[in-house]
Structure 1
């Protein structure tokens, strides 16, 4: 891995938990030549890195901070020992995406099959193998646990208390790592999309939802499954809410909170009544909203497809374009051009 002295790109703004007067996001990308320099990169963490293996140090660090989350990726070509703490009131989950050998984390060995977690009050005790690339998400504990309680009726922090590794399958780990990598790649290409509050909310909820899917919940009692009449009632209330908030980028989490049901109950209800899961139903609603916005703002020199998609929470632009074309038979740029 090649490395250059100093920052490649840095955008300064508010990391998680900073005062709201600051800008709403930050992006940092650096190549590092020293373990101390690398340790200082992670916003709001207090760390010390000691290089353990011999040779020139070459590291790569990338970070996005917005809302209640901090996404970061770090790659190292030397074994280091990391000590310190994360920012107070946080929860970190990390997965290796490239690793040679095994390492040590919080009293346990870890490998390519390990998903790691760290609480905001936990001491970091992390020895890396000689080569490691890892992606991670650090989230505000209160925001994450509130989401888990409202959407899944789970006390996630109680489930993770005292853990250093997470019991996830290789496929679940791969899915979580792929989401983090894809999300960071999208933001790297167009970081300014984070200035839209809807985009920040959509990405935050996508992270929280995938994390909850990754962590296996306790088995649900069959007796708790809602009846057919109850499921019909849930769908009717959900559709009523969506119709009265048609100009807002509603999410599955919003519906769960407003209706007082779990995501699983919402899933069962939509699947039985409409033969369509709530995610696809909401995606169709949002795609139609984007289409209307494109037609209404056509001809404006300041209007871009990316901006309108971001307002409705579509953060992966290539996926959005494919979904839009599959739904309407044309690309969003074609809708904009034709309406203009």
Structure 2
């Protein structure tokens, strides 16, 4: 068993944040690599076993990608008080999960403490997220006005379209790749909050089908009031990386009500409005000529966890890359705000 990164990162991250990549050549060893899960694997197909696990844990969220090259039976339980969602990336044939057949277009779920009963195909590559169930359900109630655990019930495989599954799969792979590429971003509480809420939002978008949802019955006057209250809150917190969840909680409205209010009043969705605010906040900091901080540090502090997307959005907004703004400020080409 070889640990590729965890030792190198020891002491570089907060105690509640870990990033690791582990390769194992025994199914039993592989089963023990996932933090805070109690698992036991039995190899079923003949041949040399090789398993690989990439894992990132920060705050209330554990994201991991597991690859195995032999059919195994997986048993055990996830950590108490958690809820897991798994999406196959690639697989050789069909698998069996808690008595049901699954394929590459399935979303699997497991409640913490519930028994895992999982028979993989000969090759399986799967990406998953395990979240604190209370934190996830609180987010669902505040932002979507949705009782998530009641919606999930005893389901183990969730009904979804291939498009929804593909979107969630791609998103989780991007999250894991971004954290692996720049793990030090986890030092910033704002980044951890932003990525945690982005995960919650993506999960809910895949689980709760909005195609049949009716438009919230708010009047024109109330929509204007919602937007004005939102803008007042933003002005009062102009130095903070505000999220949609912050606004929903502050205004006591659902994300859909907030969305429709912004679209009707400003012809702009709240996500775009908040992104523009955060981009402007990051630009203010870059113009203050920070000598010791990098673009990545400033981006993370404003909740931008995907650096290439941040750079592209920044250039589209301001006509230059964030590194160019910072270099101009350090050379005295800009006056600090």
Taking the aligned partners of 2:62 and 2:324, their CA distance within structure 1 comes to 35
Q: Which residue in 2 is equivalent to 1:77?
A: 69
Q: Which residue in 2 is equivalent to 1:25?
A: 17
Taking the aligned partners of 1:95 and 1:256, their CA distance within structure 2 comes to 29
Deviation of 1:122 (Å): 1.3
Deviation of 1:13 (Å): 7.5
SS at match of 2:114: coil
Is the CA contact (8 Å cut-off) linking 1:71 and 1:137 kept in structure 2? yes
Deviation of 1:216 (Å): 2.4
TM-score by length of 1: 0.93
Is the CA contact (8 Å cut-off) linking 2:92 and 2:122 kept in structure 1? yes
Indicate whether 1:55 and 2:47 are aligned: yes
Unaligned runs of 5+ in 2: 331-337
Q: Which residue in 2 is equivalent to 1:333?
A: 323
Q: Which residue in 2 is equivalent to 1:17?
A: none
Indicate whether 1:90 and 2:82 are aligned: yes
Unaligned runs of 5+ in 1: 15-21
Query: Once the two structures are superposed, what CA deviation does each residue of 1:16-54 show, in whole Å capped at 9, x if it has no partner?
Result: xxxxxx713001101110001110011000000000000
Deviation of 1:339 (Å): 1.5
Out of 183, 194, 207, which is 1:202 matched to? 194
Taking the aligned partners of 1:6 and 1:13, their CA distance within structure 2 comes to 16
Deviation of 1:215 (Å): 1.1
Indicate whether 1:179 and 2:171 are aligned: yes
Taking the aligned partners of 2:236 and 2:10, their CA distance within structure 1 comes to 35
SS at match of 1:247: coil
Q: Which residue in 2 is equivalent to 1:315?
A: 305
Is the CA contact (8 Å cut-off) linking 1:36 and 1:48 kept in structure 2? yes
Taking the aligned partners of 2:298 and 2:264, their CA distance within structure 1 comes to 32
Out of 3, 7, 22, which is 2:3 matched to? 7
Distance 1:28 1:221, change over 3 A: same
Taking the aligned partners of 1:54 and 1:299, their CA distance within structure 2 comes to 58
Q: Map of 1:246-325 to 2, 5 A cutoff?
A: 246-296=238-288, 298=289, 300=291, 302-325=292-315
SS at match of 1:248: coil
SS at match of 1:36: helix
SS at match of 1:55: coil
Structure 1 stretches of at least 4 aligned residues deviating more than 6 Å after TM superposition = none
SS at match of 1:168: coil
Taking the aligned partners of 2:58 and 2:187, their CA distance within structure 1 comes to 9
Number of residue equivalences: 326
SS at match of 1:56: coil
